[in-house]
């Protein structure tokens, strides 16, 4: 179920947009944007805090704390409602279009009366924007592409939103008397990057108690279908959830069927037909006698078809059937294989928690090593300096000694940095300064619209830097908001393999970058990968599960992922073929 922190964060993000749209002070809008980030990443449920407790959260002052209490008590905030009343709802919807900011959206409304995405698309096609200052043919092209992105992601949610809701539903239904088994299926079980609707499967002799409990969940806004085998609801957030209840002895066949994908299921049914069998959600049957052969577990269904159990993340008809028939399925990397996180932030730059809290949380996760990678100085809004970075390094070394002293096998800390790859492929510091870091992640954070050749060369040059170990969020995409950069990925993948530079699989649910198709291609080039959380708060460390899901969809094993390796092997990799950086003991 949606946490109140996330609801409050969304409210303040909206308020920041409303302030910008109505011409309010940019500083005031930024205050609410920062508060939204802090509240969304805070570990304590804000609905349990009073004004004094809320003010302990970074970037939350007295006014914001009071608005938070007001929202948690009444479900609304008077100041937000006042601004909402001044602006048509469609105008704020326009700000969801990539590359269209609040001020330009309001300008379109004031000058042309545009208050919906559809009206904007029509105005572009009619060339009515060209007389407005700042809206030329190139802007029109970018806006049309942004509208396409927005529409493609409409009615779909990010993986973490769907996972949180599905986990809550499964937990509640599992408590119902008579429920033998319950889990989510569909694209969510396959770790698709966005989810259109959620499929939940339960096994019980009698379905009525489960169906009743399902329709009575507190976030149900509409019951779309109510039946004995399938019930569908819509949540207060607009997401559809389908519950199917099957007899316990059909569990395995039903789970295989409703997990999908459709293409994978077609292939398994074809295998069944060739063996004079029929496969459905109720079981695997003899085609002539209709006698049920197997159905209780997925493993026995696959085994009867001559296949090993195929992990859900591979079930996309991308060669998994053939690999299974030839006993060539990879042993996929699992979250429990991850020994450390190599891309995280603290409140020294744009993170929300201090170094000590992030390190303690990493230790609780049982990591063998953990990297702190705050931003370098080229992202000027982070106000990084040489002195601040070196002071952090001293503190990291102190903490490393304290954690290492716990029996000699404790958490080892790595002092790293996330460098900015500038338009020419250069990074923040000269090589003599970079040599002092244990590892360097380098990422593109600006100039996303460079030409294809320039962007490709830019990233390749970063790979060729002897101190850059990992290319962070390599395509820079933000799902539904910013498309991947237009670069020659195969040339970049070849450069990574040649230089010993890992590619990141960024586990942030809004990024999931690299995506699965790119991982498959990069792997064929011989690239190694780092699966990271890109955590900006303690809560974000859990993003690792989504990064691992993407890695599995890309067919990766432990050997492909550098942060599953023992620390000594990782350190050899980080030396990148003999740079001046020395491993610490």
Structure tokens at 354: 């201090």
Percent of the chain with pLDDT over 90: 66
Neighbours of 413 (CB within 10 A): 28
The three-state secondary structure class of 292 is strand
Of 96, 98, 95, nearest in space to 108 by CA? 95
Measured CA to CA, the distance from residue 506 to residue 472 in angstroms comes to 7
pLDDT tens-place string over residues 137-160: 777 887 887 777 777 666 688 999
Q: Would the CA dihedral through 420, 547, 150, 475 be positive or negative?
A: positive
Q: Would the CA dihedral through 59, 347, 334, 503 be positive or negative?
A: positive
Residue 514: asked if its preceding bond is cis (omega within 30°), the reply is: yes
Q: Which domains does the chain have, with CATH numbers?
A: 4-152 (1.10.150.110), 157-246 (3.30.460.10), 251-325 (3.30.210.10), 336-574 (3.20.20.140)
**Residue 1 pLDDT:** 40
pLDDT tens-place string over residues 297-349: 999 999 999 999 999 999 999 999 999 999 999 999 999 999 999 999 999 99
String of DSSP letters for 42-110: -SS-GGG--HHHHTTSTT--HHHHHHHHHHHHHS--HHHHHHHTTS-HHHHHHTTSTT--HHHHHHHHH
pLDDT tens-place string over residues 360-387: 999 999 999 999 999 999 876 668 899 9
Give the pLDDT mean for 190-205. 95
pLDDT tens-place string over residues 18-32: 888 777 788 888 888
pLDDT averaged over the chain?
Answer: 90
- Residue 444, pLDDT > 90, answer yes
Contact indicator for 527, 561 with CB cutoff of 8 Å: no
Confidence of residue 580 (pLDDT cuts 50, 70, 90): low
- In 3-state terms the chain splits into helix, strand, coil percentages (rounded to 5) of 45, 15, 40
Measured CA to CA, the distance from residue 168 to residue 198 in angstroms comes to 12
Give the pLDDT mean for 460-475. 97
HSE at residue 60, side-chain half, CA atoms within 13 A, is: 29
**Residue 298 pLDDT:** 96
More confident position, 487 or 481: 487
Structure tokens at 50: 């009073």
């Amino acid at each position: 179920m949606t946490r109140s922190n996330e609801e409050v964060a969304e409210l303040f993000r909206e308020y920041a947009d409303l302030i910008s749209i109505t011409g309010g002070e940019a500083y005031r809008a930024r205050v609410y944007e920062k508060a939204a980030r802090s509240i969304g990443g805070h570990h304590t449920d804000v609905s349990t805090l009073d004004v004094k407790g809320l003010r302990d959260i970074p970037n939350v002052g007295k006014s914001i704390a009071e608005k938070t209490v007001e929202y948690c008590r009444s479900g609304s905030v008077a100041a937000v409602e006042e601004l909402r009343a001044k602006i048509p709802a469609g105008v704020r919807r326009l700000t969801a279009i990539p590359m269209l900011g609040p001020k330009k959206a309001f300008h379109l409304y004031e000058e042309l009366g545009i208050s919906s995405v559809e009206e904007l698309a029509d105005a572009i096609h009619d060339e009515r924007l060209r007389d407005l200052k700042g809206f030329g043919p190139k802007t029109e092209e970018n806006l049309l592409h942004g509208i396409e992105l927005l529409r493609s992601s409409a009615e779909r949610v990010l993986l973490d939103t769907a996972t949180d809701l599905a986990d809550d539903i499964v937990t509640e239904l599992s408590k119902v008397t008579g429920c033998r088994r319950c889990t989510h299926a569909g694209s969510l079980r396959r770790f698709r990057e966005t989810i259109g609707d959620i499929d939940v499967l339960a096994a019980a002799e009698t379905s009525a108690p489960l169906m009743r409990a399902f329709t009575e969940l507190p976030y149900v806004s509409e019951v779309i279908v109510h039946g004995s085998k399938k019930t569908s609801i819509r949540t207060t957030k607009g997401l559809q959830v389908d519950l199917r209840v099957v007899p316990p002895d059909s569990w395995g066949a039903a789970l295989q069927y409703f997990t999908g994908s459709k293409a994978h299921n077609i292939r398994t049914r074809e295998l069944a037909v060739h063996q004079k069998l029929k496969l459905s959600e109720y079981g695997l049957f003899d085609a002539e006698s209709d006698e049920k052969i197997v159905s209780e577990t997925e493993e026995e269904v696959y085994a009867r078809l001559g296949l090993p159990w195929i992990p859900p993340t591979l079930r996309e008809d991308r060669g998994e059937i053939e690999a299974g028939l030839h006993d060539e399925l990879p042993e996929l990397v699992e979250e429990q294989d991850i020994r450390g996180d190599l891309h995280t932030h603290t409140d020294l730059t744009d993170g929300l928690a201090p170094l000590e809290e992030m390190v303690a949380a990493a230790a609780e996760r049982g990591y063998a090593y953990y990297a702190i990678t705050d931003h370098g100085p080229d992202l000027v809004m982070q106000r990084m300096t040489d002195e601040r970075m070196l002071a952090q390094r001293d503190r990291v070394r102190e903490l490393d000694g304290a954690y290492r002293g716990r029996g000699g096998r404790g958490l080892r800390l790595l002092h790293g940095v996330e460098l900015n790859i500038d338009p020419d492929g250069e990074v923040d510091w000269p090589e003599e300064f970079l040599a002092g870091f244990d590892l360097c992640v380098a990422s593109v954070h600006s100039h996303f619209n460079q030409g294809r050749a320039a962007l490709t060369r830019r990233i390749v040059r970063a790979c060729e830097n002897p101190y850059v170990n990992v290319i962070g969020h390599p395509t820079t995409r933000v799902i539904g908001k910013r498309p991947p950069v237009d670069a020659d990925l195969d040339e970049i993948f070849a450069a990574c393999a040649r230089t010993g530079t890992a590619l990141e699989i960024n586990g942030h649910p809004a990024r999931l970058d690299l995506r699965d198709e790119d991982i498959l291609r990069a792997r064929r080039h011989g690239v190694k990968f780092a699966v990271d959380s890109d955590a900006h708060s303690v809560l974000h460390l859990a993003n690792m599960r989504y990064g691992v899901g993407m890695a599995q969809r890309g067919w990766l094993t432990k050997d492909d992922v550098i942060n599953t390796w023992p620390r000594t092997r990782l350190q050899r990799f980080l030396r990148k073929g003999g740079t001046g950086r020395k491993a610490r003991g």
